[in-house]
Each structure stands twice: as C-alpha cells, then as structure tokens.
Structure 1
Amino acid sequence: MSVDVRIDQGRLSRFLRLRGGIVERNLARRTRRTADIASDLAPGSMGDYVDWHIEEGPRGLQGVITCDHPATIFVLNGTRPHIIRPRRARALRFEVDGRVVYSAIVRQPGTRANNFLGRALRLSR
C-alpha cells in the first residue's frame, strides 16, 4: 500500500507549464525538502521508504511524496486495541525484561495516529 502527498504549484504552473524550467526546479526543491522532513519524522525504518517525484497533474506540475512501507496506513491512522493470536504455532514468543515469554494471545492496546506526512507538509512551509 502506498500513501501519497501532493504539492501543487498553483495557478503559476498552469500558465507556465515549463518542464525543466524555474517552476519545476522550485517545486522539486520544495518537494525534496518536505520529503526529507517526512523521512526524519517517520518512525523506525519507515523513513527509508519515503520517496518523491514531480509529475504532470490536472492543474499543472505536482510534487508527489510517497511512502511504500507496508505499515504506513496503520501509522498514519493508528490502530484500535486488538488481540494478536499465533498463526503458525501454538504460542507467541517474545522477550520481556530480557526474559523469554510464551503466550497463547496478546492484548495489543492499540497505537496513536502519527501523521508524519501531514506534519512534514506543515513544517516545510
């Protein structure tokens, strides 16, 4: 699953539509800066999956920032509390305070939403 954030250059790009010109260079600079901020704000290794490019949109040039990590949608929206059960074994194995623990189920308390892409967009202005 991929999540996109689009940055429009607005009316100016509609009239100037210059591929490789000053409008595209300015948009590329702003998009790269926003993608770098998003990469820094992303949790864990998710920042390695943040990428950007410039494309022609319906209203002119657009800067597109994508994050292709499989858990991006869960990080952006958060999760509700849920129960985790083993799929291929009879018990789950994990470590707690350096001790190995086995359990038939785990009650995961859920996670708060972390809209790092939206925060990066607001911080880049």
Structure 2
Amino acid sequence: MSVDVRIDQGRLHRFLRLRGGRAYRKMQERTERVARIAEAEAPGRMGRTITWRVIETGRGLQGVVECHHRAARYVLEGTRPHIIRPRRKRVLRFEVGGREVFAALVRHPGTRANNFLGRALRRGR
C-alpha cells in the first residue's frame, strides 16, 4: 500500500500568504487587536500615533504595531534623572499646582519605563 501526497503550491500560497487568505486575515485580526489594546494602554495622546500592518517576509507573515510619537522611546524605556535647561529662552516656564513657575533649570527625577506595547502584545495573543 502506498500513499501519494501532492501539494498544490498555488493553493497553499493563496491560503497562507496572499491578501484575502485565511492565515493573512487571522494575522490581520490579531495585529489589529494588539494595536487597539496598545492604544488604550498608551499614556496621554500617544495612542493616537499607533499604526499597524501585516507584511510578508521570507519567513512568512509578520504583524507590525508601531508608535510614532516623538516621546515613545522615553516612555517605553524610561529615563534616568536628568537636568532640563531652556533651549531658546533664558528660563523655563511651566505650571505647578495651578501656579505659573519660572526656573533657569529643572532637576527631573526620571521616569519609570512604561512598556505598553509589550503589555498589549501579551494581552492580545
């Protein structure tokens, strides 16, 4: 007794990779779900800068979720204590407790990392 297995490469490719294929649609659903969770987890207005897409690589399909906010790296990785100095003016101006404050420099205590993208990935699986 023998078994003959034939793989239709065209059908397999359509199933796995081409837009509209089942695997592609599943990857789209998962990637979008992760992006929506990341938008909700992101601080402030950072969630508005999150985009997602599915790409084909040499190894298969890949879902990509990106945050394009200019401070995303500092939020994701956190910051060490640092000094903030004015760039264009002589003093910094900001509000503390509803009062306007002027200072030549500010000793920022740093921020703890907030890896909202990693949390979204773990929750969106």
Contact 2:78/2:112 (<8 A) preserved: yes
What's the TM-score once normalised by structure 1's chain length? Answer: 0.85
| Cα distance in 2 between the residues matched to 1:74 and 1:66 | 15
Alpha-carbon displacement from aligned partner over 1:33-73 (angstroms, at most 9, x marks no partner): 00000010000000000110111112111111111111111
| Cα distance in 1 between the residues matched to 2:58 and 2:115 | 26
Q: How many percent identity over aligned positions?
A: 63
Residue equivalent to 1:3: none
| Cα distance in 1 between the residues matched to 2:98 and 2:116 | 31
Matches within 5 A, 1:1-125: 16-125=16-125
Alpha-carbon displacement from aligned partner over 1:3-62 (angstroms, at most 9, x marks no partner): xxxxxxxxx98x833432111111100110000000100000000001101111121111
CA drift at 1:98:
1.6
CA drift at 1:105:
0.7
User: How many residue pairs were aligned?
Assistant: 113
> Between Structure 1 and Structure 2, which shows a larger proportion of strand residues?
1
| Cα distance in 1 between the residues matched to 2:58 and 2:116 | 26
What's the TM-score once normalised by structure 2's chain length? Answer: 0.85
| Cα distance in 2 between the residues matched to 1:99 and 1:16 | 59
CA drift at 1:92:
0.7
Q: CA RMSD in A?
A: 1.7
Q: Residue 66 of structure 1 aligns to which amino acid in structure 2?
A: E
Q: Which runs of 5+ in 2 are unaligned?
A: 1-11
